């Protein structure tokens, strides 16, 4: 600008300033934050004037304050935004709408969502911030207005995507032009927890150059990459929406939740309780089994359960301690408000839902830390009872284990899964059943199985370490990491190409997914082209 002014010999540089605070409009539900925002904008205007003064050698100050931003104190959701500013006078919408998940929403906030998404099926699961996306998409119709919101990462993961984004993309025709993938954002407020956020920029007009900002971890600095198309999962891939599916999309063994006791804890035993049972009534030993959920599996915590399937009623009745637990379970079920639970009172000696395999099976924890590169997955013998905080795959071998514990599957999981706070929340219906499996040659399959066995062998070198330690990024043994990297390469090869990173993997998987659901060309090996 200085060179321009010199060439044009402009003396009054203030005529070159194109932006003033009276060009800004805002909506804030509370009076005090609205006044803070107004004051902050005057302060920023003053700071920019001081910067211009230094650059051009002339003091600039807009005093007295004759211009002011228009900040309306109101609930933005029932409001017609054009009553604040006509959309043909606006260029940009940006903001940081409230982050409130479905469980934390007030009655009034739930009513706001119901009104904004009236007629939209499943809107009760949406985060409160999604209302601003819908309102903005409606408001910008027929314009070139560009929008950008800071939001909770949940709106781009798991079950919210097929509820929110098909309407925004298909009905309102919005285009995502840039996006920051999940990152950790904290503020200095006392006791305020860090949240995981995304930033999404969209408009009706599609930019030729789209940008995605990747984060190696949620605490890393962003790395910019150009994209051809940004979908609702904020990856460079087709605009597909992953819905819950009851069966695997590919030929793969079925995944189910572990067995559910529905017992109010009466069929579950600590180590001390199990030892007491066996000490006082030796014959109860065959009724007690090791009991695993995701937490017990990852952290090697000991719990046990009364597993009375195929146990002789004579032996059950012989044990006063077991019978006492059964009676308590029966009483709990009878008092339930759920009709299905009441019916289970007829069989109080058994778990309410039994899905325990009779052969060796794979266990996948339902919830796992975001800090791990790999979700700990492992084989279990049928004597180990798995509960509903984990998922199980029967009839699985080294090939299935290798695919599921690979970087390819982990990249898909991180993109598609929901979250429990910030932790990964694995699911059969969203993650596993929609996962596009490779079609390996016999040699590729053998390589995957050998590499999978190497991972198991590397784990076995540390029998006293739990999975939490083995898969902690700071303490993961080099031999285990090397085995996983070998497995990752073997699995990548089965997908027919070399992948630069997880973003590349996910992009390829989305193309495969679209192929499986119709709409893409494939080569002779069945891979997307």
Tens of pLDDT, residue by residue over 454-477, are 999 999 999 999 999 999 999 999
Within this chain, do residues 109 and 186 fall inside the same structural domain, yes or no? yes
Are 408 and 493 in a shared domain?
A: yes
Establish if 48 belongs to a structural domain.
yes
DSSP 158-214: GGGHHHHHHIIIIIS--EEEEEEEEEEE--SSTTPPPEEEEEEEEESSPPSSEEEEE
Region label for 496, one of left (φ > 0), alpha (ψ between -120 and 50) or beta (otherwise): left
Distance CA 514, CA 279 (A): 59
pLDDT tens digits, 81-124: 999 999 999 999 999 999 888 889 999 999 999 999 998 899 99
Cβ–Cβ < 8 Å for 294, 426: no
Grade residue 518 by pLDDT with cuts at 50, 70 and 90: confident
Residue 482: inside a domain: yes
Question: Coil, strand or helix: which one is 247?
Answer: coil
Helix (H/G/I), strand (E/B), else coil: 199:
strand
Which SS3 state, helix, strand or coil, does residue 484 take? helix
253: pLDDT strictly greater than 90:
yes
**Cβ(151)–Cβ(198) under 8 Å?**
yes
Measured between alpha carbons, how far is 435 from 501 in angstroms, rounded to an integer? 18
User: How confident is the model at residue 58, as a pLDDT?
Assistant: 74
Q: For residue 360, is it within any domain?
A: no
Q: Does residue 495 have a cis peptide bond before it, meaning omega lies within 30 degrees of 0?
A: no
Percentage with pLDDT > 70 across the chain: 93
* Judgement on whether residues 122 and 148 belong to the same structural domain of the protein: yes
Any domain includes 359: no
Instruction: Give the global pTM.
Output: 0.85
User: In terms of domains, do 182 and 324 share one?
Assistant: no
The angle at the Cα of 10, spanning 8 to 15, to the nearest 5 degrees, equals: 120
In a shared domain, residues 472 and 373: yes
* Closest to 509 measured CA to CA, from 495, 493, 494, 524: 495
Q: What is the pLDDT of residue 523?
A: 42
Above pLDDT 90, what percent of the chain?
Answer: 76
Nearest residue to 400 (alpha-carbon basis) of 391, 499, 128: 391
pLDDT of residue 14: 63
Same domain, 305 and 405: no
User: Strands, E, within 44-194: which ranges?
Assistant: 70-73, 92-95, 146-152, 175-185
Asked if 356 and 260 touch (Cβ cutoff 8 Å), the reply is: no
Last residue of a domain, one of 57, 74, 91: 74
Report d(CA 180, CA 453) in Å as an integer: 37
What does the pLDDT read at residue 525?
Answer: 40
Residue 477: which domain range?
Answer: 244-259+365-380+390-529
In a shared domain, residues 434 and 521: yes
**Rounded to 5°, angle at Cα 404 from 235 and 526:** 65
Region 419-435 average pLDDT: 89
- Do 347 and 459 belong to one domain? no
Q: Does some domain include residue 501?
A: yes
Determine the Cα–Cα distance for residues 133 and 127; give it in Å rounded to an integer.
11
Do 264 and 396 reside in the same domain of the chain? no
- Cα 249 to Cα 437: distance, rounded to the nearest angstrom: 9
Are 182 and 85 in the same domain?
Answer: yes
Q: Based on the fold, state whether residues 97 and 67 are members of the same structural domain.
A: no
| Domains: count for the chain | 4
User: How many whole angstroms separate alpha carbon 521 and alpha carbon 529?
Assistant: 6
Residue ranges of alpha helices (H) inside 1-126 are 2-8, 31-56, 107-116
Assigned domain for 441 exists: yes
Considering the domain boundaries, does residue 154 fall inside one? Answer: yes
Q: What is the pLDDT of residue 217?
A: 79
Asked if residues 147 and 140 have their Cβ atoms less than 8 Å apart, the reply is: yes
Closest by CA to 482, choosing from 505, 455, 453, is 455
The predicted-structure confidence for 303-347, as pLDDT tens digits, reads as follows 999 999 999 999 999 999 999 999 999 999 999 999 999 999 999
516 and 446 fall within a common domain: yes
Q: Which helix (H) or strand (E) holds 326?
A: helix 320-334
In-domain check, residue 385: no
């Amino acid at each position: 600008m200085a060179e321009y002014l010199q060439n044009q010999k402009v003396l009054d540089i203030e005529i070159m300033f194109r932006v003033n605070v009276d060009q800004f409009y805002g909506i804030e539900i509370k009076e005090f934050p609205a006044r803070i925002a107004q004051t902050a904008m005057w302060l920023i205007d003053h700071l920019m004037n001081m910067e211009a003064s230094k650059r051009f050698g002339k003091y600039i100050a807009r005093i007295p304050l004759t211009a002011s931003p228009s900040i309306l104190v109101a609930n933005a959701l029932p409001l017609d935004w054009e009553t604040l500013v006509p959309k043909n006078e606006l260029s940009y919408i940006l903001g940081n709408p409230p982050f409130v998940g479905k469980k934390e929403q007030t009655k009034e906030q739930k009513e706001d969502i119901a009104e904004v998404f009236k007629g939209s099926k499943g809107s009760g699961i949406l985060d409160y911030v999604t209302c601003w996306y819908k309102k903005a998409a409606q408001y910008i119709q027929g314009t070139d207005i560009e929008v950008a919101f800071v939001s909770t990462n949940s709106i781009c993961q798991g079950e919210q995507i097929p509820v929110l984004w098909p309407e925004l993309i298909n009905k309102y025709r919005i285009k995502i032009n840039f996006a920051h993938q999940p990152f950790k954002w904290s503020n200095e407020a006392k006791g305020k927890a860090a949240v995981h956020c995304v930033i999404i920029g969209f408009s009706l007009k599609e930019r030729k150059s789209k940008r995605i900002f990747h984060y190696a971890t949620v605490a890393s600095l962003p790395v910019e990459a150009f994209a051809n198309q940004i979908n609702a999962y904020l990856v460079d891939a087709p605009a597909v929406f992953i819905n819950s599916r009851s069966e695997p999309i590919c030929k793969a063994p079925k995944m189910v939740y572990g067995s559910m006791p529905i017992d109010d804890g009466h069929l579950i035993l600590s180590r001390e309780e199990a030892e007491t049972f066996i000490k006082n009534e030796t014959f109860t030993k065959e009724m007690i089994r090791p009991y695993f959920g995701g937490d017990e599996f990852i952290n090697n915590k000991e719990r046990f359960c009364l597993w009375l399937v195929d146990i002789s009623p004579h032996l059950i009745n012989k044990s006063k301690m077991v019978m006492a637990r059964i009676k308590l379970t029966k009483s709990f079920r009878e008092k339930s408000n759920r009709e299905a639970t009441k019916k289970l009172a007829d069989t109080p000696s058994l778990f309410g839902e039994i899905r325990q395999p009779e052969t060796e099976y794979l266990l996948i924890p339902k919830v796992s830390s975001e800090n791990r590169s790999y979700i700990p997955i492992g084989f279990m013998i049928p004597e180990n009872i798995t509960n509903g905080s984990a998922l199980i795959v029967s009839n699985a071998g080294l090939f299935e284990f290798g695919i599921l514990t690979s970087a390819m599957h982990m990249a898909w999981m991180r993109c598609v899964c929901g979250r429990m706070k910030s932790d990964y929340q694995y699911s059969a219906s969203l993650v596993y059943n929609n996962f596009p499996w490779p079609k390996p040659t016999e040699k590729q399959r053998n390589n995957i199985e050998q590499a999978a066995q190497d991972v198991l062998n590397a784990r076995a070198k540390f029998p006293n370490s739990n999975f939490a330690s083995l898969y902690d990024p700071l303490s993961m043994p080099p031999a285990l990491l090397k085995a996983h990297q070998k497995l990752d390469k073997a699995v990548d090869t089965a997908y027919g190409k070399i992948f630069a990173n997880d973003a590349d993997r996910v992009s390829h998987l989305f193309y495969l997914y679209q192929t499986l659901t119709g709409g893409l060309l494939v080569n002779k090996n069945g891979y997307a082209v």
